[in-house]
Structure 1
Amino acid sequence: MSWYLKLPLRTKLLLSFISIIVLTIIITVAAVNSMRDSQNVADYIRWTLEERSVRIANTSSDMINLQHQGDIFMETIYNAHSKGTTPPRGFDQPVNEALVELASSAEQLQASRFPEEIGFIKDSVRQIQERYQTLVQPLLSDGKYFEAAEAFQRNIPEFFSPVYTRLDKVRNIQTQEVIDQSRVLTNTAPMYVVIGIAIFSLVLSMAIAFYSASYINHALSITIKNIGYLEKSDFTHNASSKYQDEFGNLTTSVENLRQQLTKVIRSIIESADHVNEVMKDAQQSIVRLNKNANSSESRAISIAAATDQMVSTTQDIAQNCDVAATLARKTSDKTAEGKSQAQQSINMIFQQVEQTKANSQQIEAMINQSRSIGSIVNTIDEIAAQTNLLALNAAIEAARAGEAGRGFAVVADEVRALATRTGSSTNEITKKISLIESDANKASATMDQSVAGISALADDTSVLEHVLNDIFEQVENVTSQITQIATAAEEQTTATHEISTNMQELTNSSREVAQIASETQESVNVTSKEIANLVSLMNNFKL
């Protein structure tokens, strides 16, 4: 059972309850199964008696009724034949009704359990109907009553005995099944099984409950015993337990508490001894403190007089610093104004630089366009030369053609003249473009020089701006330092005044310290007595 001791208490209790619940469920299931079996047997008996047996009984009764009506049918015919008369009207109606009832009863029979017997009965009833309808009724319709009776006697009664035999067999089997099932109901074995399971479950549940209660009682008694030692101020006994569940954890906690309390009590005893020694030293220190307090009172009076003189001096320094700070602020304002004007000049110079650069870019674009035009003019000049050459060739060919090419020669001359004028025009355009490019290059060079000069001016102005910024920063630093000096002087005045006030209070405090030192000495004496009592109380614990 070592594994059981290692389980948590909650798990142990849950296992106990679950075991009892499982046993209860087993008993319930066994009882329910027994009751269900009994119910099934009772339902089978009821079904056999109320339905199956009734169907067999109805079929047997209808067969007996048919046999009885057949006897009456034949007796009526024979009596009428012996008297030389005809049977009364509708004398065969009871036989017809008996056949219909027999067919209905036989149709309700189920062949699932007795297929051979029930099949024979249904087949016999069907043959009785067929023979009656084919062999007897036609003779009755023709008025041959005696022949009909003879036909009935020959063909119908032979089925009665075999059908009765099958019906009795089925009835006997059903009766035997009912008897067998009834024996199941009267069988006491399931009841003994349920009672046995119930007794076993009860004994096992009581064993589980007894074991769980004994376990919990024993574990609690160990814990109470360990706590009892602590209650009696006995810290020499170790708290131990073999259990590894919550009770084991509780015992471990009690042991940890014992160890911690032992350490605390020992620490208290040691601290009390140490405090007692400290109190003795404190008594001596308080005596010295009283002497020093009297000496501090006379020194504080001298320091208070010196601080009053220092207050007057620091007030003069603060006034002079205020005047210097005012002048520094005016200088800072003028420097800021010059810095602003220099910044405006720098901005205008930079704007002029950007404008000059834009003009230079436009001139450069114009030079590029002139070069493009020159390229186009060269192309036109080449075309004119080619045209002139073609016109010359055309004139030669026209001269070879003689009279027929005269008109073509005139056109060729005109084309050549036009090509010549075109070449002259392109030469003039080329010269003009060359002049434009030369002027544009000069203007571009001039613009570049202007940009360089303005850029240099902008750089110089930027240097001036940096100088003004440095001056402004230096003035601001001077102003800030003067302001800080003035503030510090005012603070020094305030602090010196506070020192003077504090020194006066210190004088009064020195008097109070001497009085408090005397009172403290009395308190230390009382505390020493209390510590002695605490040590005596701690010695009552067994460690």
Structure 2
Amino acid sequence: MRTNLTTANRLWLFAIIAILGAASIGVNGVLTISSSSKTTHNNLETIQLKSKNLLAIENAKMNLLLQVKAFKDALIRGNDPQNYTKYNAEFKQHREAVHEDLVEAKALMKELNIGSEKIDELALLHNQLSDRYQSALDKFDTKDSNSGQKIDLMVKGIDRPALAAMDTLVETSEKEYGTLITEQISFLDETSQSALSQSLAICFTIVLLIIVMALWINRNVMSQLGGDPAYAAGIVKSISEGNLTTAITLKSDDKTSLLAQMHTMQIALRGVIEQIRDASHSLVSSSQQLAASSHQVAVSSTLQSDTSATIAASVEELTYGISQVSGSADEAHQLSSNARDASSSGAIQMQKNITDIKNIAQSIQEATQSMHKLGSQSEKIYSVIGVIQEIADQTNLLALNAAIEAARAGETGRGFAVVADEVRTLAEKTGKSTAEISDTINMIQRDTKIAIGVMENSASQMQPVIDGVDATGMAMREIEDGTRQVLDSLDQITMILAEQSKASNEVAQSVEESAQLNKSNSEAVNEVSTAAHHLKDIAQSLIISVQRFSI
């Protein structure tokens, strides 16, 4: 039977039952004593009145005997007037005492609600006896020595009825008094026996309830623990020390006790520790791979920087060549009016221009090839960044899982939670760095494509220039007839050279931006490499932490 009472509540209930039992015994004792005391008090009052009544009757009997004795003494020793007077006075005194005792006894009987007919009869007999005795004493002659015998014969036997009635009254009173005492003793015995029986019954009931409660509490506590408390404490100590291999003995149907839950927790902790250990080894491998990839990206960035420097030099040479061609075109334009006189010089200069233009075309072609290589290197960097981002996401997921499992482990997994949070922070930082690198690479690729387009456009525009220069060379033999055509060609060359100069400046600017991006890329890769080493250290620390657990 399941109950929602806690162990503390059960113990309080146990204590309340014990207290109520003790209180019941005490209350029953108090009530019994109170009732017995009240009855006993009433009985004792009755006994006290009975005792006074019996004492008054016995006093009356004693005074009656003394009265008879005084009468006898007066008859025997009354010849002496002093003795006669003395005993006569004693006779009267004892007569009055008997009367007072009987009056007192009658009053006590009324108070006890007992009939006083016998007292009245005895009082009547006593008065008759006393009157006859007094009459006989009045007839006593102190001078007659035989007067006493005469009077004695005259009153012989008259005291028997009064004495017999007195004895009967005393005997009856003594019996009633003894009966009352016996009844009181019986009442006290019955009361004590009843109180004892009730107390024993209550004690038996309370003891039975306490035994039932003790068995119930023991059964529930043992059911909740699943075993002996010392055994449960030993299992908890073993798990707290990192030993997860201790076998927990459970009952076949035990699924809800503390030991059963500890067994489930032990299995879960084993799985968590195994996952953390495997994840830590994977994290070490991933961090090593990330460090190697970062090194490769750094080498590629260095090569890209060298390529950018070469492109910059080529563009500088291209700009210089365009400047020279522009100057030559100006000179040709200025000297076109004297072309006939300077045809030989013009032919030589034209041949030089042809050579310079071919060099420019060659430089543009080389620059275009370098930009293509830059684009290929950027693609490689982008793929490496993708790998880094994937590793960072996996690391963040592993750290989140480790944090969840550590939170489930409670106080034991607090160290794991700190390590998992540090790994997750590092993974987020790595993800942000790779995102920044990816954006930078995208900008490099975009600018590289623009530069390649410009280079290809410049190369395509150089061919007409070469063709025009060749035509100009062929026309040098007819320079006198084609001066106007030369001037027109020079104007076209000047225009094209201006465009080429602008294009070369744009290429130079793009190369400069590419160099800056390469620098940023190199710094980001260094940060990724540092983060990878830090991640490796954290993974190794995590491995050391889980090694304290025996699974």
TM-score > 0.5 by shorter chain: no
Tell which has more relative contact order, 1 or 2 (C-alpha 8 A, sep 6+): 1
Please report the TM-score for the alignment, with normalisation by the length of structure 2.
Answer: 0.40
Please report the TM-score for the alignment, with normalisation by the length of structure 1.
Answer: 0.40
